[in-house]
Amino acid sequence: MEGKTIQLDTRWKPRDVEEMKLWCESNAECVGFAHDGLEWYPKRMGTGFDPYCKEFAQKWPDKKFQYYWIKQRAIKQESADTRARKAAQEEAKAEAEKNWMAAEAKAKIQAAEEELTA
Helix, strand or coil, per DSSP, at residue 82: helix
pLDDT in tens, 89-108: 888 888 878 777 777 778 88
**In terms of pTM, does the model score above 0.95?**
no
The CB density around residue 18, as the number of other CB atoms within 10 Å, is 9
Burial 78-102 (b: 16+ CB within 10 A, else e): eeeeeeeeeeeeeeeeeeeeeeeee
E-only strand ranges, the chain: 30-35, 40-44, 66-69
Residue-range definition of the domain harbouring residue 27? 17-84
How many domains does the structure of the chain reveal? 1
> Would 33 be classed as within a structural domain?
yes
pLDDT, tens digit, 9 for 90 and up, residues 17-56: 999 999 999 999 998 898 998 999 999 888 877 766 666 6
